Amino acid sequence: MTGILMFGSFAVLLIIGVPIAMSLGIATMCAIVFSPDITLSVSVIAQRLFGGLESTSIMAIPFFVLAGNIMTKGGISKRLVDFSNSIVGNIRGGMSLALVLSCAFFAALSGSAPATVIAIGVMLYEDMVKIGYPPERVAGLLVVSGGLGPIIPPSIIMVVYATITGASVTNMFKSGMFIGIVIMFVLMVIVLIYANKENWPKNQEKTTPKLLLKAFVNAIPALMLPIIILGGIYSGALTPTESAAVAVVWSLIVGFFIYKEIQLKDLVQIILDSAKSSAMVLFIIATSTAFSWLFAFSGISKQLVDTIIGLNLGPTMFCFIVAIILLIFGTFLEGIATAVLIVPILWPIAESLGINVIHFGMIVSISNVIGTMTPPVAVNIFSAASVSKLKMDQIAKGQVPFFIGYLAVFFAVVFCPWISTFLIK
C-alpha cells in the first residue's frame, strides 16, 4: 500500500505538471499521512529534508554553478571557443569539431550539461548556420556535446553519487576524465564522417602558427581554471568543495581584471541566477532523500533487493538491467533526482555482487546525462531549442548519429568495467 501511494501520487503529480521536487515531497507526505502501514509524524519529512543536505561535498554544487555563470559572463567561454576553432577550424566541418572541443573545455569548468549547451551554443550556433552548416545537425551536435558537461570533471552528478555511496570524488573524477575524452573523440569521428557525407562548409581562412599562438595566449587564463580545479583535487591539496570555491575566486579575477568583461553591477544578477539554479538542484536532492528514505524504511527497497537477488543475476547482467532502468527513468526524471532515488536502493545489491563503486558510478552518471538528451524531460534539447529556435523534433532528428555514438560508449562502459577503473588501480 505504501509503495502504491508513493509512486502513484508521484506519477499523478508529474503528469499534471507539478515540479519534480514538489512532487517528491508531496508523494512522501501522502504515504506518511494515508498509508495504514506507516506510523510516523510528518515532522520526519523536515528532518530528512535537512539531513539530505548535511554534507560538505554538496556544498561544491552551488560553487560550481556560480563559477560556471561567472565564466560565461566573463568572457572565458569565448576565449575557449576561439582557441578550439584555431586548432581544428581549417578541416571540413571544422567549426563542428571546434564545437565539440569547446564543450569539452567548458565541461572542465562548469559540470552542468544545459549550462554547456547554452554557453557554447550562444557563441557558435548562429555563425555556423550562416556559413552553411545544417541547423538541425548543429543543434543536435550541441545537445550531445553538452553531455560532456557532467562527465568531464568537475561533475555535479558525480559529487551527488559520491555523497550517497561514500565513493571517492577524486576517483570518480579520474574515471570521468578518461571516459569524457573517449566520448569527445567518438563525436569528432562522427562529425568528420557526416561533414564529408553532407558536404559541410570548410573554413577558408588559414590558421597560421601566429594566430594559433595568439589564441592560446588569450585562452591561458581560461585554461588555468581546469588546471586549478582538477590539479588541486588530484594532488590532494584541495577537496572538491575547496576547489569549487577557488574556481569562483579565479573566475572573478579573470572576469574583472584580466578579460575585464564583468562589471560590479553584473555580479548581482550572476549571483541571483546561480542561487536560483543551485536552489533547484538542492531542493531536488533534499526531497529525493526524504522519498528514498521512506522507500527504505517501509521495507519496499528490501523486497526489491530480495527479488533481484533471487534472480541470481551475474554482475554484468545486473549492470545491464540497471542501465536500462536508469535510461527509462532518465526520460521523465531529472538526473539528480534519479540518482538520489535509485542509487540508495540499487547500490547495496551492486556491492553484494562485487561491482566496483566507481564502475557503478559511471553507469549512473552517463545514463543520467543520456536522460538530458531524451524527451520528454530533455533539458539539453530545451536548452538547444532556446538557442536555435528550432522545434524539439527537428533537434532530436539532427542529434541521432551523435546520440548513437554517445550510447555506444555508454554500453561499452556497462559491459567493460576496466574502462571505468583502470586509472584508479
How confident is the model over 258-299, as pLDDT tens digits? 888 888 888 888 889 888 877 877 787 788 778 777 776 777
What's the mean pLDDT in 308-324? 84
3-state secondary structure of 363: helix
Share the mean pLDDT of the chain: 82
Q: Which tops the pLDDT comparison, 332 or 128?
A: 128
- Give 242's pLDDT tier (boundaries 50, 70, 90): confident
Whole-angstrom CA distances from 301 to 52, 163, 213, 298, 332 are 18, 19, 57, 8, 21
Are 278 and 69 spatial neighbours (Cβ–Cβ below 8 Å)? no
Is 70 exceeded by the pLDDT of residue 55? no
Is 70 exceeded by the pLDDT of residue 88? no
What's the mean pLDDT in 69-89? 75
Q: For the chain, how long is the longest CA-to-CA vector?
A: 74
What's the mean pLDDT in 128-154? 88
* pLDDT for residue 244: 78
Angle, to 10 degrees, between the axis of helix 335-352 and the axis of helix 264-297? 40
What's the mean pLDDT in 403-411? 95
* pLDDT for residue 336: 74
Which residues are bridge partners to 92 per DSSP?
A: 202
CA 410 distance to own-chain centroid: 14
- Give 332's pLDDT tier (boundaries 50, 70, 90): low
* pLDDT for residue 57: 64
Q: Which of 167-171, 207-211, 346-350 bottoms out in mean pLDDT, i.e. has the lowest?
A: 207-211
This prediction has a pTM of: 0.77
The residue with cell 584508479 is 424
Domain assignment of residue 182, given as a range: 2-424
Return the C-alpha torsion angle 146, 384, 156, 44, nearest 10.
-150
Q: For 199-233, what is each residue's pLDDT tens digit?
A: 888 766 666 777 778 888 888 887 787 787 778 87
Cell numbers given for 127: 555563425
Whole-angstrom CA distances from 348 to 145, 290, 344, 357, 376 are 32, 18, 7, 10, 30
d(CA 33, CA 38): 8
* pLDDT for residue 334: 67
* pLDDT for residue 340: 76
CA 58 distance to own-chain centroid: 15
**Over pLDDT 90: what percentage of the chain?**
16
d(CA 303, CA 268): 50
* pLDDT for residue 376: 63
- Give 409's pLDDT tier (boundaries 50, 70, 90): very high
- Considering only CA atoms, which of 325, 340, 348, 281 is closest in space to residue 163? 340
What's the mean pLDDT in 312-326? 87
- Structurally, the chain folds into a number of domains equal to 1
Q: Which tops the pLDDT comparison, 310 or 262?
A: 262
Is 90 exceeded by the pLDDT of residue 393? no
Is 90 exceeded by the pLDDT of residue 362? yes
Is 70 exceeded by the pLDDT of residue 425? no
Residue 320: Cβ-neighbour burial (10 angstroms; 0-12, 13-18, 19+): middle
* pLDDT for residue 203: 66
d(CA 362, CA 346): 14
* pLDDT for residue 300: 67
Are 325 and 345 spatial neighbours (Cβ–Cβ below 8 Å)? no
